[in-house]
Amino acid sequence: MFFSGETVVAKKIGRKIDGYGNRGRWSPEPGKAKTAYCGVCGKQMNVERNVLGATSWAESMGHGKHFHDSFTCPNLNKKWHEKIVNLKMEAHNTVSYKIKKILEEEILEILEANAVR
Ligand SMILES: [Zn+2]
């Protein structure tokens, strides 16, 4: 069966950031994860193993680097992907249950229109 990221994301929305709650980018220790799914659109992410580099802004500023696996979502640079990230942040930040629901609906609409077909 074709992987349905939509369902996965629908389940994840509203939850706190977990192992899959990434923003389309994830840099765990080498070999820690075989596969990873995008926390934004639910797609299986591409992986580059044993990359030497910085995984955070602070690390790059300090010219630090270490080996890691670099997972990135194939949709990472798409505009709608970025929009979902922002909508998710808003949904996470609002105290209003109603606004949260509206934001979640919009996220699902965007996913239906773009990500998983
Ligand atoms: Zn994604």
Model pLDDT for residues 75-90, shown as the tens digit of each residue: 999 999 999 999 999 9
Residue 56's pLDDT is what? 87
Calculate how far, in angstroms, residue 94's C-alpha sits from the geometric centre of ligand 1. 23
Residue 42's pLDDT is what? 87
Calculate how far, in angstroms, residue 44's C-alpha sits from the geometric centre of ligand 1. 8
Calculate how far, in angstroms, residue 96's C-alpha sits from the geometric centre of ligand 1. 26
Number of structural domains (the chain) is 1
Query: Residue 8: pLDDT band by 50, 70, 90 thresholds?
Result: low
- The residue segments making up the domain with residue 17 are 5-114
Model pLDDT for residues 25-47, shown as the tens digit of each residue: 999 999 999 999 898 988 899 99
Kindly report the pTM of this predicted structure. 0.73
What is the Cβ-side half-sphere exposure of residue 60, based on CA atoms within 13 angstroms? Answer: 6
Token output for 72: 């990135």
